Amino acid sequence: MCDLIIFFLFLLRLPNAQTHCSIFLVIFFINSMSIPFVSRFLSSSIRPKNPGSSFTTLSVTNPVEKYWIHLDSNDPSIEKALTKVGAKLDSSCVKEVINRCNSANQSPILGLRFFIWAGIQREYRHSSYMYNIACKQFRINQNPNLIRDVIDAYNLDNCVVNVKSFKIVLNLCKEARLADEALWVLKKMIDFNCRPDTSAYNAVIRLYCETGRVDEALSLMEEMSLSNLYPDMVTFVSMVKGFCDLGRVEDASRLFKVVNQQGCSPNVVAYSVLLDGICRVGNLEKGLNLLQEMENEGGVCAPTVVTYTTMIRSFCEKDRSMEALTVLDRMEACGCAPNRVTISTLINGLCQEDQVEEAYKVIDRLAAKGSVSKSECYSSLVVTLLRVNKFEEGEKVFRRMLVSDLKPDGVACSEMLKRLCLKEKRVLVAFVLYNEIEKLGFAACIDSEIYSIMMDGLCTESHLLEASKLAKSMVQKSIQLKAPYVQNVVEYLKKAGEMELVSRIYKVNDG
């Protein structure tokens, strides 16, 4: 003991005395203890601690950190450990955790298990956006074996997996468009004492239909009855669409009889999908017959505005827009009011066939009934006229709207100004027209890209006064200059001595 005290006094004379003294105290502490006590002390310090009760876990308040601590422990019973965390779970938390699994070079299986676990929690539900994020993070499209690996991991660790967990995996397959893996998962459910239900079968059937393997989907639908399950309307619509996408409308039609025999009555969605398929193969007469059948059936099969618009579009695409007007007549006779899409479809078809006068008549007829406003109708007409290269007529209609207090929508305003700037090379006229729109309070609907195009045009043609006015207006409205036009505009304004305006433009763009 005396030797230790002399050694301590010696340490005090050396540089970094505090560090040396700390070492001395440790040696002194050990020397003064009994050997059995030291042995117990050391053995307790290396014994694995329960991470759930460690100081590190208790002191963490960030949900992401809490979940990450448990994931990083590589506990085979990871789902049980995660359930005990009790931290708030939302999409941003899930996204951050699975991102960490990638950046920390963890096995993707660990991240996938967390994602699946999160999806079955009562207070949280994955959105389609999150499924997309998960597929990208784990590169499931490039490595479809991950789907099989995660199920095998559950089996290896004797994890209890429920039907909800399998449905999360099926949704991942759906997002990644992995039909074969989805079928494998469906068959694996039995090994975990999970009985596939109709919605599980529907997920796989829809995948096979979307990937063009309708006959395999049909076999699955027939297999459902062997498990005492029956196809529902979701199954039926998926199959009808699958056949129609391949142009097999006769096979799609035959499904209606099969479904009726199984006691499941087709609804307007199923009929509309079949109608769309029939029209896409060009058999408009058969389409009209089906439409008539739907009208006669009524009830849940009665045509909707979507059904009628599909029929109208099909006639217009075949340059038979005048016949499409007869569908409009039937639509109104059945008490179904057309919407903006119906009107735009008709106007576009008529103008494409140089039937502009008929387009005016349709607008007057429908606007008078109030189902679609005059402003919406004429905005559609302006856009269509510009797109079919009838610019003068389109400009005339647009100016007539302004003096008639009819409000052109954002698409009409943007298309008109863009055409004036780029194709007509009349940027000054565009600026004057913009000022008229601004005075009437319609400028808020103009696309930000149009401001940049107009600003660039004014600078290129050296219209300093107008360019300065427009730049100030953009700054006041916090409208950013688009990337392709920034350099030209800034250089022009600098040469013109508008340094303060340039500074304000940069502030808006940086903000």
pLDDT digits (tens, 9 = 90+) for 124-135: 999 999 999 999
Q: Which residues contact 157 (CB under 8 A, 6 or more apart)?
A: 76, 77
Pick the more confident residue, 58 or 69. Answer: 69
Joined together, the tokens standing for residue 328 give 């409009």
> Is the Cβ–Cβ distance between 41 and 59 less than 8 Å?
no
Nearest to 131 by CA among 80, 170, 75: 170
> Is the Cβ–Cβ distance between 178 and 147 less than 8 Å?
yes
Fold for the domain defined by 267-365: 1.25.40
Compute CA 105 distance to the chain's CA centroid, rounded to the nearest angstrom.
28
Pick the more confident residue, 316 or 38. Answer: 316
Instruction: Determine the Cα–Cα distance for residues 103 and 137; give it in Å rounded to an integer.
Output: 10
pLDDT of residue 61: 64
Q: 29 falls in which pLDDT band (50, 70, 90)?
A: very low
- At 184, which amino acid appears? W
Q: What would the mean pLDDT of 145-157 be, rounded to a whole number? A: 93
Instruction: Determine the Cα–Cα distance for residues 25 and 267; give it in Å rounded to an integer.
Output: 85
Instruction: Determine the Cα–Cα distance for residues 391 and 301; give it in Å rounded to an integer.
Output: 42
Each domain of the chain, given as residue ranges in start order, spans: 1-47, 267-365, 373-446, 450-511
pLDDT digits (tens, 9 = 90+) for 334-393: 999 999 999 999 999 999 999 999 999 999 988 888 888 999 999 999 999 999 999 999
Instruction: Determine the Cα–Cα distance for residues 425 and 229; give it in Å rounded to an integer.
Output: 66
Show contacts of 289-294: CB within 8 Å, 24+ apart. Answer: 291/327, 291/330, 294/268
pLDDT digits (tens, 9 = 90+) for 249-293: 999 999 988 877 777 788 999 999 999 999 999 999 999 999 999
pLDDT of residue 227: 82
Pick the more confident residue, 181 or 45. Answer: 181
Q: 69 falls in which pLDDT band (50, 70, 90)?
A: confident
Q: Which residues contact 241 (CB under 8 A, 6 or more apart)?
A: 209, 273, 277
pLDDT digits (tens, 9 = 90+) for 78-112: 888 888 888 889 999 999 999 888 776 777 888 99
> Is the Cβ–Cβ distance between 253 and 246 less than 8 Å?
no
Give the SS3 label for residue 33: coil
